[in-house]
């Protein structure tokens, strides 16, 4: 009984988080802020959906599907790296930050680097 409510709550929460994350993709001004919304919220959303599915099979069907737990672990380990790599690639290929930005330490460093290598 309590298990059903827990499963329902987890899956609903995950779906709501994914929805909020996609709204963030629409609303945010530039690549980097969008990346914040995409990496964090959708990671937690998908993780909680998977946990809900795992608990559903465990409690309703008495089946322990370890694949779900493995998927959660892999997501948890790979999502931050993906966000980091996309942000880095965007910055290196010269995607501008939004006009709201107040500070940019990396630009100076990249300029001096390019002077050295003559690029």
Partner 1 sequence: MAFQIVLNGLLALIWMLLANDMTFVGFVVGYFIGMAFLFGLRRFFKKPFYLRKVWAIVKLLGLFLKELVLSNIAVIGHIVRPRLTVRPGVFAYRTELRSDWEVTLLACLITLTPGTLTLEVSPGQDTLYIHAIDIGDADELKRQIKGSFERAIREVTR
Residues 6 or more apart whose CB falls under 8 angstroms from that of 24 comprise 34, 36, 37, 38, 41
Binding range to partner 1, per CB under 8 A, among 3-11, 49-57, 58-66, 81-89: 81-89
Identify the residue among 4, 9, 60, 98 touching partner 1 (CB under 8 A): 98
d(CA 28, CA 21): 11
Complex with partner 1: residue 60 or 81, whichever CB lies closer:
81
105: left (phi over 0), alpha (psi -120 to 50) or beta: alpha
Minimum distance from CB of 39 to partner 1 (Å)? 7
Token pair for 101 = 């930005």
Report yes or no: 43 and 83 within 8 Å, Cβ to Cβ. no
How many residues contact partner 1, by CB under 8 A? Answer: 38
Chain residues in the site for partner 1 (CB under 8 A): 17, 20-21, 23-24, 27-30, 32-33, 35-37, 39-41, 43-44, 76, 80-81, 83-84, 87-88, 91, 97-98, 100-107, 109
């Amino acid at each position: 009984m309590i298990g059903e409510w827990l499963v329902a709550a987890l899956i609903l929460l995950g779906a709501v988080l994914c929805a909020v994350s996609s709204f963030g993709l629409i609303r945010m001004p530039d690549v980097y802020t969008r990346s914040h919304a995409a990496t964090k919220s959708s990671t937690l959303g998908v993780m909680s959906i998977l946990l809900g599915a795992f608990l559903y099979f465990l409690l309703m069907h008495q089946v322990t599907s370890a694949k779900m737990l493995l998927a959660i672990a892999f997501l948890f380990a790979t999502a931050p790296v993906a966000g980091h790599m996309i942000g880095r690639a965007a910055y290196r290929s010269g995607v501008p930050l939004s006009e709201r930005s107040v500070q940019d330490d990396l630009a100076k460093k990249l300029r001096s680097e390019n002077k050295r290598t003559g690029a």
